[in-house]
Amino acid sequence: MRNIVITIARQYGSGGKTIGKMLAEDLGVKAYSREILKLASEDSGINETLFNQVDEKLKNTTLFGIMRREYKGELIPPESEDFISNQNLFNYQAKVIKELAKTESCVIIGRCGDYVLKGNPNVISVFVHASPEYCLKQAIERGAHSGRDVEKYIQKTDKYRADYYHYYTGQVWNDARNYDLCLNSERLGFEGCVEAIKAYMKIRFPE
């Protein structure tokens, strides 16, 4: 039986991460999100802290939103001074994602998984979205970032995700053409989104 991988990109507050984990549990497979950073650290020998810090570095880089370091699939060797560069840290995350796709069925949440696995016939790419009002309500109900201006935090997080995606792929994060499915979690609910993905799987992979 072939390995099937579902990649999930999501707006903050849309519940995409929860939906990904629910789907993985339903299918009896693993869901990978930040776990990819640990695996990339183990594979490269680079301290996991650096993988965690790179996101913060990029968030605070003023040119991040307009620059591009499009992923080409290569790894920078250890003897290079660029071995622990932001680009190479992403390269190792991409390497882990590709290896997971070869060895097991799973759900990949974030990390430009749809782009890294682009062209793989066994991949289903999903984008989960919802209205700003719904995302705000979900974030508040789940106690996210209490004491902050949650609405501004959501906007900042989605902007970062869009910039991150463009930085490494050269493409637009919320462009429907980049995905097999775009699901509105406000309309479908979390369980409905899981069922929609499973229904698509049955049509796409009838065997």
Per-residue model confidence as pLDDT tens digits over 136-151: 999 888 776 655 688 8
Is the predicted pLDDT of residue 85 greater than 90, yes or no?
no
Looking at residue 45, what is its pLDDT? 85
Looking at residue 48, what is its pLDDT? 80
Average pLDDT, the chain: 87
Q: Which CATH class is domain 5-204?
A: alpha beta
Looking at residue 69, what is its pLDDT? 63
Give the mean pLDDT of 93-122. 95
CA distances for 152 relative to 31, 61, 63, 146, angstroms: 28, 19, 20, 12
CA distances for 64 relative to 153, 160, 165, angstroms: 18, 9, 11
Question: Would you kindly state where each structural domain of the chain is located, as residue ranges?
Answer: 5-204
